[in-house]
């Protein structure tokens, strides 16, 4: 097993060759296929429709948020190759809205010449160990980590990366699900029980499993001062545009707010944008990529996660940028040139979860001016479920946070007066 530390920076290698392609131009009027019919697919579809494309979506759920905007709906599971064949028959080009669609299914579209993004980055982001190797290979930094297959591996991980550490499932975890914090060696046994209990029965036998197929990864707890993200777009011709850096606030592992511009020093913003561009080039990206980062007190940026699709932390671009992340993604996938990504006004984005929605709708007359509501058309408003988001356009981030705070729906009293400190 190789110990991977903060100092292990592999020379730049790429997932695919970094050569650029002649753009395969898919003109408006053609059909865009979208794998996945959630809110990201829906907002992609809206941008594509505005540009004049038709939409075909693949999703098993008849009530998928994107289905209402699609001309055709292929009702199939995200691993159903027959469904992919059906989608390929009705679309001119395709993309995916989330990273857990089956790689084989996506490859079916790639083999038909209809997935300009390819499947390498998709496959890399489906497993946290592959993802970390990919980030290191592309010249980024990640927290020291250790693959975990057994309880003995977990004990060793504590020694290798140090405590406290964060243990995560390598496949399929989101919004803090499949994640455990270990603060002391006394807690290892009970965390191990919870980890094993979280695995589907067919994954509980780890005999013969290769290290890089490990179901869990333990990583050093990063004492970050802020969580940042950059969404970067790259066209088929190799043109790159980064959206402004977002400062992200999570509560209970769910993204609550994105503040833009991030309250960080200018040189950190430049460094974050350069890092995202470097990853985009090295990974031969087509479309948009969300790069989640931790900013440390020393001014270092550690990459936490990559998302090769539009990202929740860039929903602010819908109202605050010259071009939204969704339009930029559609442009890239369809071989069109990218458009400008500059911020036109400061903005605070707040996610509208199930518990917020009735309160928000009951406060219609109190809404601040320049608050833009985006709802995803989901029928059932469950607690913690992302129902939509609001973008509050403002003159300063503090003013936007204050406007949201005054609604009394979100917990953000502590966030209103955060200032820019020396390194962040």
Interacting residue ranges for ligand AMP, rule: CB under 6 A: 143, 166, 173, 176, 179, 219, 221-222, 227, 250, 253, 304-305
User: Radius of gyration of the chain from Cα atoms?
Assistant: 21
| Angle (nearest 5°) at CA 412 between 407 and 414 | 140
What is the rounded CA–CA span in Å between residue 337 and residue 298?
Answer: 38
- The residue among 222 and 394 lying less far from ligand AMP, judged by its C-beta, is 222
113, 90 contact by CB (below 8 A): no
Closest distance of CB 381 from ligand AMP, Å: 23
Closest distance of CB 218 from ligand AMP, Å: 9
Closest distance of CB 107 from ligand AMP, Å: 26
Nearest-CB residue for ligand AMP: 222
Closest distance of CB 170 from ligand AMP, Å: 11
Closest distance of CB 176 from ligand AMP, Å: 5
- CB-side exposure of 113: number of CA atoms within 13 Å? 5
- The residue among 153 and 227 lying less far from ligand AMP, judged by its C-beta, is 227
Q: Can you say how many angstroms the Cα of residue 406 is from the centroid of all Cα atoms in its chain?
A: 29
- The residue among 118 and 164 lying less far from ligand AMP, judged by its C-beta, is 164
Closest distance of CB 216 from ligand AMP, Å: 13
- The residue among 173 and 377 lying less far from ligand AMP, judged by its C-beta, is 173
Question: Please, what is the end-to-end C-alpha distance for the chain in angstroms?
Answer: 35
- The residue among 42 and 256 lying less far from ligand AMP, judged by its C-beta, is 256
Closest distance of CB 91 from ligand AMP, Å: 31
Pairing, β 246-251 against β 254-260: antiparallel
- The residue among 168 and 356 lying less far from ligand AMP, judged by its C-beta, is 168
What is the rounded CA–CA span in Å between residue 355 and residue 409?
Answer: 9
> Which two structure tokens, joined as six digits, stand for 274?
């350069």
Strands (E), 44-140: 54-58, 72-74, 93-96
- The residue among 34 and 249 lying less far from ligand AMP, judged by its C-beta, is 249
Q: Is 355 exposed, middle or buried (0-12, 13-18, 19+ CB in 10 A)?
A: middle
């Amino acid at each position: 097993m190789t110990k991977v530390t903060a100092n292990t920076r592999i020379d730049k290698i790429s997932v695919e060759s970094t050569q650029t392609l002649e753009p395969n131009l898919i003109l408006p009027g053609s059909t865009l296929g979208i794998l996945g019919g959630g809110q990201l697919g829906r907002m992609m579809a809206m941008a594509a429709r505005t540009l004049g494309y038709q939409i075909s979506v693949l999703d098993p759920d008849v009530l998928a948020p994107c289905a209402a905007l699609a001309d055709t709906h292929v009702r199939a599971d995200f691993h159903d190759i027959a469904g992919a064949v059906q989608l390929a028959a009705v679309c001119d080009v395709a993309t995916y809205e989330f990273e857990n669609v089956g790689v084989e299914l996506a490859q079916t579209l790639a083999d038909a010449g209809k997935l300009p993004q390819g499947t390498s980055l998709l496959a890399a982001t489906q497993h946290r160990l592959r993802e970390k190797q990919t980030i290191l290979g592309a010249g980024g930094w990640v927290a020291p980590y250790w693959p975990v297959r057994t309880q003995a591996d977990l004990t060793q991980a504590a020694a290798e990366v140090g405590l406290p550490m964060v243990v995560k499932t390598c496949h399929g975890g989101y919004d803090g699900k499949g994640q455990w914090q270990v603060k002391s060696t006394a807690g290892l046994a009970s965390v191990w029980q919870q980890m094993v209990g979280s695995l589907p029965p067919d994954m509980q036998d780890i005999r013969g499993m290769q290290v890089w197929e490990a179901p869990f990864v333990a990583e050093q707890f990063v004492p970050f001062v802020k969580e940042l993200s950059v969404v970067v777009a790259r066209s088929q011709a190799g043109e790159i545009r980064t959206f402004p850096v977002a400062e992200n606030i999570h509560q209970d592992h769910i993204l609550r707010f994105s503040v833009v511009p991030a309250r960080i020093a200018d040189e950190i913003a430049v460094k974050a944008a350069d890092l995202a561009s470097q990853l985009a080039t090295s990974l031969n990206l087509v479309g948009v990529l969300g790069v989640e980062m931790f900013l440390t007190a020393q001014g270092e940026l550690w990459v936490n996660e990559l998302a090769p699709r539009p990202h929740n932390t860039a929903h602010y671009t819908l109202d605050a940028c010259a071009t939204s992340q969704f339009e930029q993604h559609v442009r890239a996938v369809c071989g069109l040139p990218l458009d400008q990504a500059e911020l036109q006004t400061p903005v605070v984005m707040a996610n509208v979860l199930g518990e917020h929605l009735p309160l928000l709708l009951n406060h219609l007359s109190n809404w601040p001016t320049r608050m833009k509501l985006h709802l995803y058309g989901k029928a059932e408003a469950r607690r913690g479920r992302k129902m939509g988001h609001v973008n509050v356009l403002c003159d300063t981030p503090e003013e936007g946070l204050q406007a949201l705070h005054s609604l009394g729906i979100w917990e953000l009293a502590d966030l209103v007066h955060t200032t820019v400190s020396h390194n962040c």
